Structure 1
Amino acid sequence: MKYTKTIFGTLIAVVVLILVFSSVTTVASGYRGVLLQLGAVKPTILSEGLHFKIPFLQTVQPIEVRVQKEESSQSAASKDLQIVTTKVAVNYSVDPEAVNKLYQDIGLDYRSRIVDPAVAESLKAVTAQYTAEELISKRPEVSAQVKDMLGKKLSKYYMKLEDINIKEFAFSDEFNKAIESKQTAEQNALKAQRDLDRIKIEAQQQITQASAEAESLRLKKQEVTPELIQLKQIEVQEKALDKWDGHMPSVTGGATPFIDFSGTVKK
């Protein structure tokens, strides 16, 4: 009898402990709890921390509400029918106030069912509006359009788009070769234009220099007058007199320069 009471008391204690532990649940940081009662979603959303529930009747499904990151590569056709593979990173989060609706309408596989298809659809729709070259030159504009379209799609399913980053546009080998050839041709054309401009400038400089020299020569010819010639002759004669020692040369080997002394000898 004594042992029976002991066993019965122990069983009661165990049951009580099980009921106590079953009625307590915790929600981790960065999560919200969806309260389920016999499988049905209740409107109550459990925040972070300790909570009580009805044992065996109620369960709690935690759902992460922190920012999550999804990276993928999507292929689409551009406006000029070039195949473009876009590598994109998407940051999104679940609305903390609507986790119960998310779980009820979509479930836990919302990434594969909603996020991935929405990213692919948005990229294809925006890519088709631009040529392959415009996708590169107008990347910020393309990214903004994808972000706007994707944000609207995710908001319909109780999710918020935090940010989007287009990491890379990859094109076919044929398109890359065409771009490289075009860049080479543009560089060659630019070099040829620069060479032509340089030649024109050098030719103009030569013409200007020749004109200046011709004008200088013309002005010098205008300055040569009979009076100037006579003055130069007088200067030559004066220099010769300065060097003469007063004696006539005794030997001459040729013609003796004539110097007019009529003006210098006094009568």
Structure 2
Amino acid sequence: MKASAIAAAIFAAAVIIIGLSSVYTVDETQQALVIQFGDVKSQEREPGLHFKLPFIQNVVYIDKRVLNLTSARQVGGEGGQVIITSDQKRLVVDAFARYRIVDALKFYQSVRDMRQASDKLQPIFLSNLRNVLGEATLEALVRDERAELMQRIEEKFNVAAQEFGVEVVDVRIRQADLPTENSEAIYRRMRTEREREAAEFRAQGQETAQRVRSRADRDVTVLLAEAQRDAERIRGEGDAERNRTFAQAFGQDPDFFAFYRSMQAYRDGLKGDSTTLILSPDSDFFRYFKDEDGQVSR
């Protein structure tokens, strides 16, 4: 009785152990490879409960989430990679790549695990980073073509990463800085260049302004001369018309014309309160004071 109970317990334990060794679960963030004597027998990507042969088959889990790969290394006491641009500028670049494992079988056969994957993928990433950025100028990297450069790095890195069953989904440059020992000198040079450009722009602006002012002064002089010429012409025409009118009036009634002109002379000559005229009593100027016909009374 006692031996039978022990045997039953051993059998039950063996069944439980075999049962537990025959099943495995796959999480939503994982994919699994079933390995038998070093060879891959099956691949499971769907989450849930799955079965395998007990004891002789093992399960290797491979992450199927998007993973990060960074370029950061301590180089000369600074984080990131030292890049020499095409215009011979030295930059410290901090970048990262995001990738996912799309072919678990190829990944396992080529790199086995995540640590070896990182050791193999990072040098490829850094090589493409240096090659692409080394062909660009400093200005293109920090201002104009940064997005295009990241796209080129991603494309080149993705081609190489496919050998490991990996797909590169994104490459980003987090930071691109001048080395500490060079930054101040470069900033001073850039400031000097900007100040020189600003001085050139100001000089061009002053030259343009002077040209505009000179043209405006010339136009004003021409307009004033034309206006004065027109005024003189109109004044001359008016004087001529007046003289013609006087001549016609004189021809029609000489006595009245002489009287009218004398009245105008009296008005203009005697309009002031302190006007004094010293004339001879026989002067023709006062002839109408003496007689309405302009004759001297006796």
Unaligned runs of 5+ in 1: none
Q: Tell me, yes or no, if the aligned pair for 2:85 and 2:134 is still in contact at 8 Å.
A: yes
Single out whichever of 121-130 and 182-191 deviates more from structure 2. Answer: 182-191
Aligned to 2:137: 131
Q: Tell me, yes or no, if the aligned pair for 2:69 and 2:118 is still in contact at 8 Å.
A: no
Query: CA distance change for structure 1 residues 256 and 144 in 2, over 3 Å: closer, same or farther?
Result: farther
Unaligned runs of 5+ in 2: 72-79, 247-259, 280-284
- The structure, 1 or 2, with the larger RCO (C-alpha pairs under 8 Å, 6+ apart) is 1
Q: Distance in 2 between matches of 1:181 and 1:110?
A: 49
Q: Distance in 2 between matches of 1:25 and 1:207?
A: 96
TM-score, with structure 2 as normaliser: 0.74
1:210, distance to aligned residue in structure 2 (A): 1.7
Q: Tell me, yes or no, if the aligned pair for 2:35 and 2:41 is still in contact at 8 Å.
A: no
- Matched ranges for 1:99-118 at <5 A: 99-108=104-113, 109-118=115-124
- Matched ranges for 1:64-213 at <5 A: 64-72=63-71, 73-95=80-102, 98-108=103-113, 109-136=115-142, 137-172=144-179, 173=183, 174-213=185-224
Which of the two has greater helix per residue? 2
Aligned to 1:41: 39
TM-score, with structure 1 as normaliser: 0.81
Q: How many equivalent residue pairs?
A: 253
Query: CA distance change for structure 1 residues 156 and 266 in 2, over 3 Å: closer, same or farther?
Result: farther
Q: Tell me, yes or no, if the aligned pair for 2:154 and 2:169 is still in contact at 8 Å.
A: no
Could you say what secondary structure the match of 2:97 adopts? Answer: strand
Q: Tell me, yes or no, if the aligned pair for 1:87 and 1:167 is still in contact at 8 Å.
A: yes
Q: Tell me, yes or no, if the aligned pair for 1:41 and 1:100 is still in contact at 8 Å.
A: no
**What is the CA RMSD across the aligned residues, in angstroms?**
3.3
Aligned to 1:219: 230
Runs of 4+ in structure 1 displaced over 4 angstroms? 256-261
Q: Tell me, yes or no, if the aligned pair for 2:31 and 2:104 is still in contact at 8 Å.
A: yes
1:177, distance to aligned residue in structure 2 (A): 3.0
Q: Distance in 2 between matches of 1:20 and 1:226?
A: 129
1:118, distance to aligned residue in structure 2 (A): 1.6
